Structure 1
Amino acid sequence: MTSGALHEGGRDDGPAPGAPANSRTASLSASAARRVRALRQAEGNEALMLRVSVSGGGCSGFQYSFGFDDTVADDDHLFERDGVRMVVDDASLDLLDGAEVDFVEELIGASFKVHNPNATSSCGCGVSFSI
């Protein structure tokens, strides 16, 4: 199931034309797309997609999980930027609606970060959040 409108140039402009106004969406930043592309190349599998999911746990109630996947389930939603695909299952998208997955490089390391407008608080590591 494709949820975002995919355009040349890699922009994810939200709901596809004709989609209901309440369509849920999530996006990848340019930095995250570059990092996923580099990791795909290192794995030697251009079909890999970034899978982002939310599960119960962590110090704030919910936690983000990141991994690679080359399959799409019936309840998955696909989002694309610059030729890189991100897969989010339907239940996780309820908690990630409007979120952007970014890749941030800092002095202490580099990691994927989720800018989630639905999170009311998060732990210091940024992996756990509450709503």
Structure 2
Amino acid sequence: MISLSPAATREVLRLKSKQNNPHLLFRLGVQKGGCCDWSYIMEFEETRQSSDIVYQSNGIEIVVAPETLKYLENLTIDYSEDLMGGGFRFQNPNASQSCSCGYSFVTQA
């Protein structure tokens, strides 16, 4: 399961509305790099692969490639505004360590 907090849901919907395409999918993934081993990727796409795994959270379909699931399983995404600027926050039980920015992590997977 991958879930979005209500605040993250609002922000994803806000960003999606700026794309002027209601059929876009919200893709979540990881890539090598960042301050630690892995960094998160979030993007909108028009199509999904037949092998993709789809989660539902607060009415949003979250599309994940199966090879990245071991890094993202049980992830919760939040969003908050603060004095230093807003941003997505990742609560990843698979991460054994995260960098101070919160966008990259190390895992034992």
The TM-score, its normalising length taken from structure 2, stands at 0.88
Q: Which of 70, 85, 88 is the equivalent residue of 2:64?
A: 88
Larger Rg: 1
Q: Is the 8 A contact 1:54 1:92 kept in 2?
A: yes
Aligned to 1:57: 33
Distance 1:70 1:80 in 2: 17
Aligned to 1:37: 13
User: 5+ unaligned residues in a row in structure 1: which ranges?
Assistant: 1-24
Which structure 1 residue ranges, 4+ long, deviate > 6 Å from structure 2? none
Q: CA RMSD in A?
A: 1.3
Paired residue total: 107
Matched position secondary structure for 1:109: coil
The TM-score, its normalising length taken from structure 1, stands at 0.75
User: 5+ unaligned residues in a row in structure 2: which ranges?
Assistant: none
Asked if residue 46 in structure 1 is aligned to residue 22 in structure 2, the reply is yes
